[in-house]
Amino acid sequence: MEKWRQSLKTAVTDIGAAVRKFELPEDDVKKAAEMFRFQVSPHYWSLIREKGDPLYLQCMPDGRELEDDGDLLDDPLGEEPDTPVPNVVHRYPDHCLFTVSDCCATYCRFCTRKRKFGQCGHIDPANLEPGFDYIARTGSIQDVLVSGGDPLLLDDENLEYILARLHAIKHVRFVRIGTRTPCMLPERITVKLTRMLKKYHPLYINVHFNHPRELAPAAVAALGRLADAGIPLGSQTVLLRGVNDDPAVMRELMCSLLAARVRPYYIFQCDLARGNSHFRTPLAAGVKIIEAMRGRTSGMAIPHFAVDLPGGGGKITLVPQYECGCGGEYRKFRNFRGQIYDYHDVK
Ligand SMILES: *Cc1c(COP(=O)(O)O)cnc(C)c1O
């Protein structure tokens, strides 16, 4: 058995022990853990410093998951109607999402797909045939986002089978993989894996980090191995109350990602999945974070702030308002220092 599989076998799954360790209110926490699977990888567990810290909050069940503020949904992104065959979500004309695994190394408490992926092992790689078939007969799909769950929790052989099948479809110009393993299970990024991935260029990987402390030395090394395999890396971050809803924390995270060879791609507004109410921040918090970065740090560190609209509306991006008036042919803008400049526009 590969080392990373062995290490997953020692993941923390005993909620009783966690309740005792952190002296938690037993009933609520156990109920939350029953609603959505509790599992924390050994690596991530070792990074938690204390009860309530930003890493603890992302993976420990919490009684507040039982609350409902009235906005929360089982299928927050309205994906069901855009699912032409099992495991494919086809919402945008030229690319689709392909969920090939329902397992994760650590189950994030704020997961969008809580409704689906509380259990591990319901997706069998042998049952993806309708997905391959749909992608192969839909000529408009030029880009497939392989996601989950976490696709890198598949064995190399199963993952390679999926990449090879997609690679063989002529109209698929490139493939993206979304994974949180560099953060949660960095030992998964073996040299053997990177050698396999290299065969399927053009391949992009988007990783998921939410706090600067997640960029531990083992995670940075794993990202380096992926980058050395020539895979362009992007990052996705979920904006979470009490975890990273602070411009200074986000700036540090984005700059640390760049230093680890990852180009920040999205900051997401937390989806309205049932159990997420205590993680929600106002939309203005995300805009403020972008505004705090523009002009003050490397533009390469600044991702898009995106909201995936509930009910299947898809992603939109929100940007700070820099325009502050116009007079005739002149438009007025405020720069990052708050100074006003005129721009004479052409007709
Ligand atoms: C997020 C998402 C994508 C990818 O969107 P990009 O903006 O291209 O990164 C594709 N399909 C679905 C259904 C999605 O939710």
Q: Tell me: the pLDDT tens digits for 117-152?
A: 557 777 777 789 999 999 999 999 999 999 999 999
Q: Is the CB of 92 under 6 A from ligand 1?
A: yes
pLDDT at 76: 86
Cα 308 to averaged position of ligand 1 atoms, centre (Å): 9
Q: Which tokens is 336 given?
A: 């990052």
pLDDT at 132: 98
β-strand partners of 208: 236
Cα 97 to averaged position of ligand 1 atoms, centre (Å): 7
pLDDT at 86: 94
pLDDT at 259: 98
Report the alpha-carbon angle 197-198-203, nearest 5.
Answer: 75
Q: Is the CB of 91 under 6 A from ligand 1?
A: yes
pLDDT at 118: 58
pLDDT at 123: 76
**Residue 202, preceding bond cis, omega within 30 degrees?**
yes
Spans of the chain below 70 pLDDT = 115-118
- Cβ contacts of residue 201 below 8 Å, gap of 6+? 230, 231
Q: Is the CB of 64 under 6 A from ligand 1?
A: no
Element (H, E) at 105: none
**Which domains are seen in the chain, by residue range?**
68-319 (3.20.20.70)
The C-alpha torsion from 27 through 28 and 29 to 33, rounded to 10°, is: 100
Q: Is the CB of 97 under 6 A from ligand 1?
A: yes
pLDDT at 331: 93
Cα 334 to averaged position of ligand 1 atoms, centre (Å): 32
285-318 core/surface letters (b: 16 or more CB in 10 A; e: else): bbebbbbbbeeeeeeebbbebbbbbbebeeeeeb
Cα separation, 132 vs 103, whole angstroms = 20
How much of the chain exceeds pLDDT 90, in percent?
85
In Å, what is the CA distance from 102 to each residue of 117, 118, 154, 172, 194? 5, 8, 10, 24, 22
pLDDT at 325: 85
pLDDT at 70: 81
Q: 280-308 pLDDT, tens per residue?
A: 999 999 999 999 999 999 999 999 999 99
pLDDT at 125: 75
Taking the CA of residue 91 as centre, how many other CA atoms within 13 Å lie in the half-sphere pointing to its CB?
18
Cα separation, 239 vs 266, whole angstroms = 10
| pTM exceeding 0.85 | yes
Q: Is the CB of 141 under 6 A from ligand 1?
A: no
Q: Is the CB of 89 under 6 A from ligand 1?
A: yes
